[in-house]
Chain A
Amino acid sequence: MGVPPFQKFLEEHRDRVFRFLVASVGPADAEDCFQETFMAALRAYPRLRADSNLGAWVMTIAHRKALDVHRARARGAVAVAELPERGAEDGARDGERGLWAAARGLAARQRHALLLRFAADLDYADIAAAMGTSPEAARQSVSQALKRLRRELDDE
């Protein structure tokens, strides 16, 4: 028995991939990033081993595609006007509560660990696989992110 039909794989993981991407790159770029993620997955899919951890694997790809967007923005490749702005107003427009808007201000590593934990609902082993780090380091990134968020909320 090989990997499941791609449609099953897509249906099982598309919701959390999308949530992760909305939180990471914002709603305007999430759809493009979603397409890029699953096209890359489809390309590699027949070469996967049947016992692969598909959930962690697809989040690895999504994580990489989100980083591409962030890098492109940092290079100024994306027009400033298209950038989702940070802050409470933006959060309200996207339907995000204040916390996720605040999370946009975290360092990339902490933010992505936080997203993989609470938006993609991965355990620490899978977060580590997706980010190319150790489970302990993943746990630390999440706890640092939570600490930062708490501090920021207290300051308000």
Chain B
Amino acid sequence: MSDIERELRSGLPGAAPGALEAASLRLAERAASEGLLDIAYAVVDSPLGTLVAARTPRGLVTLSYADSGVDPVLEQLAARLSPRVLEAPARLDSLRRELDEYFERRRRSFDIEIDWALVRGFARRILAATAAVPFGEVASYREVARAAGNERAARAAGNALGSNPMPIVVPCHRVLRSGGALGGYTGGIERKRFLLTLEGVL
């Protein structure tokens, strides 16, 4: 490489630190105002670790434990819903506030709108039945299956709860085995125990 080429490569000012991040946030807001932001997401810290929250214009579409990082969550959203995915934390401010209140025991249910786009068929009915189990109470897999219209589908209920795209907000942690054993949990059994303790069940 000649001197002139080296100087061309090194002589160009880049953006000031943080300027491109700020420009990207402005882009996301503009995209939202023009109806081009299909999925806005935010990375949220919680007592249960890092969460990825994402919403469509219709409502919250996922709240995921980011144990394997943020990227797999975004890739799944891009593949299943739309690749127009941008970080826009301000669009998730109300959810973040509700989560803070919940973890401080100042909130017992969530008011945020839900978009069920990632859940189909019977699983949707199971999760709707689960959403009706109040703070501080629990139900069995068989009970939510019955509420969803098929008492004998306890196993299908377990599967639907295991792939709940919105844990905490749709409280799958409140569904236990018939004998009172904790059963499974997407984010690991310790998180289920934490949430049930927070709600005063354990």
Contacts and interface: CB of A to CB of B under 8 A. Distances in A.
Interface in A7-65: 7-8, 10-11, 14-15, 18-19, 22-23, 27, 31, 34-35, 38-39, 42-43, 45-46
Interface stretch (B7-15, B91-99, B115-123): B7-15
B12 A38 contact: no
B30 A5 contact: no
A149 interface: yes
B12 A10 contact: no
A146 B86 contact: no
Specify the main secondary structure of chain B where it touches its partner: helix
Interface in B2-48: 2, 4-5, 7-15, 20, 23-24, 26-27, 30-31, 34, 36, 41
B7 A96 contact: no
A2 B78 CA distance: 8
B13 to A, nearest CB: 4
B27 A150 contact: no
Contacts of B30: 35, 39
A99 B27 contact: no
Contacts of A103: 8
Interface residues of A, number: 42
Contact of A7 (B5, B14, B15, B74): B74
A18 B15 contact: yes
A46 B81 CA distance: 11
Contacts, number: 106
B83 A3 contact: yes
A118 B14 contact: no
B23 A46 contact: no
Given A10-B86, A15-B20, A34-B23, A146 B12 contact: no
Top 8 closest pairs, chain A to chain B, by CB? A97-B11, A5-B85, A95-B13, A118-B8, A5-B74, A5-B78, A3-B83, A18-B15
Given A35-B23, A35-B30, A99-B4, 12 more contacts: A4-B78, A5-B83, A7-B41, A7-B87, A11-B24, A18-B15, A18-B23, A19-B14, A22-B13, A22-B14, A96-B11, A146-B5
